[in-house]
Amino acid sequence: MDKSYNAVMSRKNEIMKKALGIDYEKYKISDISFDYEMMMDDVGYSINEIADIQKQSKVGNTPLYYLSNVTKLIRKYSPKGKGAKIYLKDEAANASGSFKARRASLSVYEAFKRGYKGVIAATSGNYGAAVASQAAMRGLKCIIIQEVFDSKYVGQPEIVEKSRICDAMGAEVIMSSVGPELFYSLLSALEDTGYFNASLYTPYSIAGIETLGWEVINQIRKLEGRDPDYIVVTHAGGGNITGTARGVLKYKLEFKPHNNTEFVACSVDLSGLHMASDIDFNKKSFTTGHTGFGVPFAQWPDRADTPRNAARPLRYMDKYLTVTQGEVFYATEMLAALEGIERGPAGNTSLAGAINLAMNLDQDAIVVVQETEYTGAGKHPQAQLSFAEKNGIKILRGNPEDCINGKTIVLPRNLSDFQYKEIDLKKLKMSYLENLVANFPKVKMLEEDFEFLSNDINEETKWIKETIFNILSEHKNGK
């Protein structure tokens, strides 16, 4: 069999179908639209059944803590009467140390149930550790494919740490440099082994996260007697906010809502750094939960390694905040120093966003930081800041807004330096529609397409039609 790059890429649909066991054609309505809810329903498990599966593999039922000392400090720097209560869902208590254990649990269970001998995942993040952990418990072989190095074979300490934990859990780790070979390596490995593709973007992956949202609402109602006003979620590829929101909404549908809860996405602002650039690869201190993933996946979810991505962030996102690298490092140190909880950077991205949000809310408001992750030698702020300095990045104290990504990281002096920054969701939705027109330039839009789009980006059909008309007019006029 021809294993050249072009040959393998030409067989991607055939390889993916065999490795996923999902016939995505079943859900196709038109070239543009598909039945998203049918695809999710075909996972075939209720929330309680998923929770039982996860319980078998040391996942779920994680604690929810009130951050009393953090809340007290926030109120010190907030306007009078402001400073919402902050709760934190400690997902580091899962077997592999992050919420990604929920995401991996159902995929690995499906692979085990269907008789696959092993699982494969392409990821540089905590998901690799989660898949390796779940595979170990199910007695399956595991291959994790990671972007680890730049062209000089220098790896970021955070990614190297994640490689170490995958290896410790018995996985074979294939390390690559940044570039298009990651997807080729995934397809080639799936074809050679016949293993199950434990992709981040399958319906099983998203359904596994729904228990997280379910638990948050159940726990906060017991503690506060009502639903939270905001749930802040670290946003990268979109699965975190999609699964959490779906779990919350399912709980409210079954037990009736107490009050409205808004879903807030939060990413580290890494604008100015190109995610596929060999030069920029080691100039960022955050390998996930940043705008390099968060913005593109919101603008066009189907850039994933599945025909249809089950992570659809604009369906559920009410706000989208960004924070700086310096704010996240500060929040990480603050959580350890004030609450005695040392956790890694991804969850603390949403904590930094929650601080910005809480300072502008009344004191009786409730904000939930939806997850934490484990920390380790390479994931610790000291390791990451030292690595940044070695790459010529200056570490300063002052206003985080003064940072220049790839050149400086500015640590806040105190919470008064934290800045509230919100991305315009309308602009993201317009970019989604621009990508739609670019990908389907000659397709005639049907009414069912507009209905799908209305759900997919949570906008009125009238606005969508007007926006697409304006985009087409600009293209016609050569703008």
Judgement on whether residues 466 and 386 belong to the same structural domain of the protein? no
Judgement on whether residues 410 and 429 belong to the same structural domain of the protein? no
What is the span of the domain harbouring residue 71?
A: 48-97+204-417
The pLDDT assigned to 479 comes to 59
Number of domains the chain is built from: 2
118-163 pLDDT per residue, tens: 999 998 779 999 999 999 999 999 999 998 999 899 998 988 999 9
Boundary-marking domain end, from 367, 386, 417? 417
Residue 439 within a domain: yes
CA dist 219 and 247 (Å) reads 13
CA 161 to chain centre: 19
How confident is the prediction for the chain on average, in pLDDT?
A: 95
Q: Measuring CA to CA, which residue among 401, 248, 215 is closest to residue 322?
A: 401
Phi, psi at residue 454, to the nearest 5°? -60, -40
pLDDT-based confidence at 305, cuts 50/70/90? Answer: confident
pTM comes to 0.96
Write the CATH number for 86.
3.40.50.1100
CA dist 372 and 73 (Å) reads 20
The 10 Å Cβ neighbour count of residue 44 is 10
Residue 376 within a domain: yes
CA dist 469 and 465 (Å) reads 6
Average pLDDT over residues 346-352: 91
Residue 158 within a domain: no
432-466 pLDDT per residue, tens: 999 999 999 888 999 999 999 999 999 999 999 99
Q: Measuring CA to CA, which residue among 232, 173, 185 is closest to residue 360?
A: 232
Boundary-marking domain end, from 377, 399, 417? 417
